[in-house]
Amino acid sequence: MFRKTLIRLTALYLAIIMVISLAFSISLYQVSIKELERGLNNQTDIFMSRPRIRTLFDDPSFIITTRDSEFMQSRGRLIGNLALLNLIILIGGGFLSYYLARRSLKPIEEAHEAQARFTADASHELRTPLAAMQAEIEVSLMDPNLTLAQAKQQLNSNLEELAKLTYLSEGLLKLAHLEHNELDKKLTDLNKIIDSSVKAVEKRAKEKFATINFVRPKEKISVLADANSF
């Protein structure tokens, strides 16, 4: 998507540059031609008005032919120089247009990538508490000896997971309002994050007869993070 947009924007910038260049070249050509014609005419008039012995080279038709020849040669050189100038501008303008288009699209591309990453992370984080709640409820329903105290404990655990879901939902709303960078980051114990993550999937792992093996850091490690996101 961005590649096509980059090509179109580059072409647009290049078209603008070339329109300006061609307009300038046409104006310069017209002014130069008028000045060239006036200069040759003045030169011819001065040459014809000088008193001297008439020769073949003083014949008016010869002088006019010579003047026209010089005019055509000068016009040809002018057109060639302007064409070369526009060719250089076309090549240089192509690189400049690509650079400007790339620079213009970079913030949009970065914002799009950030949104895509956040959406993917949010989807993953939303599945985690849902999976934990499902596992806990399924285990509780399969237990015929479930007591009231255990049921209350189960409901409290579900409430914690629902609180996480609520927070994540608010994060998605902030993203919609371009406020997803306003996270409440503070120093958080990494061991607490690990314990919370393991606890969230522990019952699900037992149901699948899976074992969770992890090594907690011996020393206390604090990271700058939003604790409610885990």
Both structure tokens of 217: 């850091």
Please say whether the beta carbons of 67 and 39 come within 8 A. no
Q: pLDDT by residue (tens digit) across 81-134? A: 889 999 999 999 899 999 888 888 888 888 788 777 777 777 777 777 777 777
Give the Cα separation of 113 and 106 in Å (integer): 10
Burial level of 10, CB count in 10 A (0-12/13-18/19+)?
A: buried
Measured CA distances, 125 to 26, 119, 128, 164, 207 (Å): 63, 10, 5, 9, 21
Full pLDDT tens readout for the chain, 230 residues = 678 888 888 899 999 999 999 999 999 888 888 887 777 666 666 655 555 444 444 555 655 566 667 778 888 888 888 899 999 999 998 999 998 888 888 888 887 887 777 777 777 777 777 777 777 787 777 878 878 888 888 788 788 778 777 877 777 676 665 544 555 667 778 777 777 777 767 766 776 677 777 777 777 777 777 665 55
Mark out the alpha helices in the chain (DSSP H runs): 2-49, 60-142, 148-176, 190-207
216's CB contacts (< 8 A; 6+ apart) are: 191, 194, 195
pTM over 0.75: no
Give the Cα separation of 96 and 24 in Å (integer): 19
Quick one: pLDDT at residue 229? 58
Measured CA distances, 65 to 39, 75, 164 (Å): 15, 15, 93
The residues with which 222 forms a beta bridge, in sequence order, are 189
Quick one: pLDDT at residue 64? 59
Which of these, 110, 94, 133, 106, lies nearest to 13 by C-alpha position?
94
Measured CA distances, 8 to 13, 29, 80 (Å): 9, 31, 30
